Amino acid sequence: MKKLLVLLLLPLFSFSQLTLETMSHINDSQSFKRAMIENGFQIREDGTGDENSIEYKKMGVGELPEIIGYYMMRAEDEPLFDEKMMFIYTSDYKGESESHKAIYDKVKSECEFVEVREHHSSDVAFYKCQYVKPPKELLELQAYLKKELPDSPNIDVVWYEVGFNKSESLHLIHFPTTNKANSPTMNLLKSVIEERKLEKLDSIN
């Protein structure tokens, strides 16, 4: 009977599992909310109250959330702020989180270590990962940059960065730049390219 119950519940657990691939394709507040809702999360009413952040939680067996998801949006008075995302996993009775471990192990085996740097006032180990299915906007950005910057043939923007650290019994996953195609740095680069094109046109005329 117990075995039958596990087999019946297994599809439900599999369906609501938040994966690295799903996380990596979140690029704005709408896609964050959609991913949270489709993976069994609910809005966190007792959050920080920050008007520029969105918080969702996924409850586990006990009273504490199993996972808390944060999406930090760019404020109007902070145009150079990168929108970012963080997931906090609580530990089980063994001090572990199987959901977190599955993502961590995948990154460790498939991604390239970049560096340890300070992020949210803590040291975080960051990795560079390739997309399984690259977003259309990044493919278009890659083609645009290769066309406009022919002296940089090896330019590559079709990847994402993910970081890990631990705070006491909490396991954290960080995505420092969610909307890479429209990040402040990328928008500045595109502006410079367009200005140079205008200067060339003016010189011809």
Please tell me the distance from the alpha carbon of residue 2 to that of residue 8, in angstroms, as a whole number.
10
User: What is the per-residue pLDDT across 32-51, written as a single tens digit (0 to 9) for each?
Assistant: 999 999 999 999 887 656 78
* pLDDT the model gives residue 77: 72
- The tally of domains found in the chain comes to 1
In a domain? residue 8: no
Beta bridge partners of 193: none
pLDDT given for residue 16 in this prediction: 57
Return the pLDDT at 4: 44
Distance CA 131, CA 135 (A): 8
12 within some domain: no
State the chain's mean pLDDT as an integer: 87
Q: What is the pTM of this model?
A: 0.84
pLDDT along the chain (205 residues), means of 10: 43 63 95 96 78 91 89 81 94 90 97 96 96 93 91 87 95 95 88 83 70
* 11 part of a folded domain: no
The token pair that represents 173 in the structure block: 């996953």
Please check whether residue 121 lies inside any domain of the structure: yes
The pLDDT score that the predictor gives to residue 6 is 40
> Which residues sit opposite 126 in a β-bridge?
115, 163
CB atoms < 10 A from the CB of 38, how many? 12
* Residue 85: domain span: 17-150+158-204
Q: What is the pLDDT of residue 115?
A: 97
pLDDT for res 123: 97
